[in-house]
């Protein structure tokens, strides 16, 4: 065996490419997403306009299942991933140079349309490579938390020192590195599938409706927090460095949850882990409501791992379990659409108005309510499914 083939075998066995992909993709997101709302405010957009822009990412997640169907039907999951990443990062080069709302609106539409399938395609490819060991997904995805954490603290400091323009440079560079890693994703055996027949089977499965609606409700809570957290921290008196640190604390809290998720999934199952995430989200939102200073908000960020990391890791595994054979990318796209699509669109469109008219207390109270409703929905769905067994 040659050195080159030995290195390729090593990388495939230890799934190096997915880890590198998640790291750089979340470096790109971590350098951009926490600070883009501050840029919008700086160029004169009001909270309602900011809410509309934030909601676009969610609205256009409706295209994610279409991307997933395309990938499954044509069996081009591995090729499609780097293409959509490039489409998502190119508009950012222009975004930092314009101030007209409708021009920004058009650029964000393009970015959101191409960004929609990135996570589902990557998760589907990673889970396919893991095979029957899908509970090990968290040990791959944890590198995204590492990348997010390092980038948010680094660029929180850089934004404070150099200004917000730096985010429009770093996002395309880190995104390009993620696209290169995506090209090296391990090849997995693809199942030939009758897409129409499998799609009808998926739509008739009542478990999907319960799963997706509950995930969407918990996702609304997450979206309200993520969309307006930087503005909330600024209103509490935090600077750019503290805002970046808050995201870093959240990312660090993901690491043990994702690293140990394999044991939690084996012990309690994906549905129970998602339900726990919903209830912890509700508690977290109420604590933000009561927080008097940025330092309190920083401490509350430690709950992020139990919230988002549990929700996403368990949700990805559950979606893969429920997926008809051959429609794995489509299933991940539907889950992503529920959490990052419908939830983000609803939460940010309404959240901007709530924040503007009633303040962040009302915003976080609403977030706590929808998270609790999502957890209750998962609990009732689990009881019915267990009773049917």
For a pLDDT cut of 90, what percent of the chain falls above it?
Answer: 26
More confident position, 202 or 10: 202
Question: For the ranges 61-65, 102-106, 193-197, which has the lowest average pLDDT?
Answer: 193-197
pTM of the model: 0.70
Within-domain flag for 3: no
Give a three-class secondary structure readout of the chain. Answer: CCHHHHHHHHHHHCCHHHHHHHHHHHHHHHHHHHHHHHHHHHCCCCHHHHHHHHHHHHHHHHHHHHHHHHHHHHCCHHHHHHHHHHHHHHHHHHHCCCCCHHHHHHHHHHHHHHHCCHHHHHHHHHHHHHCCCHHHHHHHHHHHHHHHHHHHHHHHHHHHHHCHHHHHHHHHHHHHHHHHHHHCCCCCCCCCCCHHHHHHHHHHCHHHHHHHHHHHHHHHHHHHHHHHHHHHHHHHCCCHHHHHHHHHHHHHHHHHHHHHHHHHHHHHCHHHHHHHHHHHHHHHHHHHHHCCCHHHHHHHHHHHHHHHHHHHHHHHHHHHHHCCCCCHHHHHHHHHHHHHHHHHHHHHHHHHHHHHHHCHHHHHHHHHHHHHHHHHHHHHHHHHHHHHC
Mean pLDDT estimate for the chain? 82
Tell me the average pLDDT across 349-374: 89
Within-domain flag for 111: yes
Within-domain flag for 194: no
Residue 298, pLDDT > 60, answer yes
Within-domain flag for 156: yes
Within-domain flag for 235: yes
Residue 367, pLDDT > 50, answer yes
CATH of the domain at 84: 1.20.1250.20
pLDDT (0 to 100) of residue 288: 92
pLDDT (0 to 100) of residue 5: 47
Within-domain flag for 50: yes
Domain count, the chain: 1
The domain of 114 spans 9-186+200-384
pLDDT (0 to 100) of residue 196: 61
More confident position, 348 or 246: 246
Within-domain flag for 1: no
Confidence of residue 189 (pLDDT cuts 50, 70, 90): low
Within-domain flag for 174: yes
Tell me the average pLDDT across 124-149: 80
Residue 328, pLDDT > 80, answer no
């Amino acid at each position: 065996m040659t050195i080159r083939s030995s290195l390729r075998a090593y990388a495939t066995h230890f799934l190096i490419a997915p880890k590198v992909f998640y790291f750089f993709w979340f470096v790109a997101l971590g350098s951009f997403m926490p600070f883009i709302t501050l840029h919008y405010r700086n160029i004169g957009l009001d909270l309602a306009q900011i809410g509309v822009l934030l909601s676009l990412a969610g609205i256009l997640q409706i295209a994610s299942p279409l991307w997933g169907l395309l990938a499954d039907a044509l069996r081009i999951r591995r090729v499609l991933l780097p293409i959509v990443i490039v489409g998502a990062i190119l508009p950012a080069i222009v975004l930092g140079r314009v101030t007209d709302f409708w021009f920004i609106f058009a650029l964000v539409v393009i970015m959101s349309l191409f960004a929609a399938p990135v996570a589902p395609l990557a998760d589907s490819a990673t889970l396919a490579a893991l095979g029957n060991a899908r509970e090990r997904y968290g040990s791959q995805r944890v590198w995204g938390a590492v990348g997010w954490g390092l980038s948010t603290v680094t660029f929180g400091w850089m934004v404070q020192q150099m200004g917000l323009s730096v985010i429009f440079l770093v996002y395309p560079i880190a995104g390009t590195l993620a696209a290169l890693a995506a090209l090296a994703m391990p090849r997995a055996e693809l199942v030939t599938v009758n897409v129409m027949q499998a799609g009808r089977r998926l739509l008739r499965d009542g478990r999907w409706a319960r799963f997706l609606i509950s995930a969407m409700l918990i996702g609304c809570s997450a979206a309200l927090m993520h969309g307006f957290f930087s503005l909330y921290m600024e209103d509490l008196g935090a600077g750019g460095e503290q805002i970046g640190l808050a995201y870093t604390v959240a990312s660090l809290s993901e690491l043990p949850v994702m690293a140990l998720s394999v044991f939690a999934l084996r012990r309690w199952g994906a549905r129970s882990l998602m339900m726990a995430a919903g209830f912890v989200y509700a508690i977290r939102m109420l604590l933000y409501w009561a927080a008097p200073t940025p330092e309190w908000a920083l401490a509350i960020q430690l709950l992020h791992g139990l919230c988002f990391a549990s929700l996403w890791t368990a949700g990805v595994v559950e979606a893969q379990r429920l997926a008809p054979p051959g429609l794995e990318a489509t299933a991940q796209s539907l889950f992503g659409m529920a959490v990052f699509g419908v939830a983000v669109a609803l939460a940010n469109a309404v959240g901007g108005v709530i924040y503007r008219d009633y303040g962040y207390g009302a915003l976080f109270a609403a977030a706590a309510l929808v998270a609790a409703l999502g957890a209750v929905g998962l609990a009732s769905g689990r009881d019915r499914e267990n009773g049917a067994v």
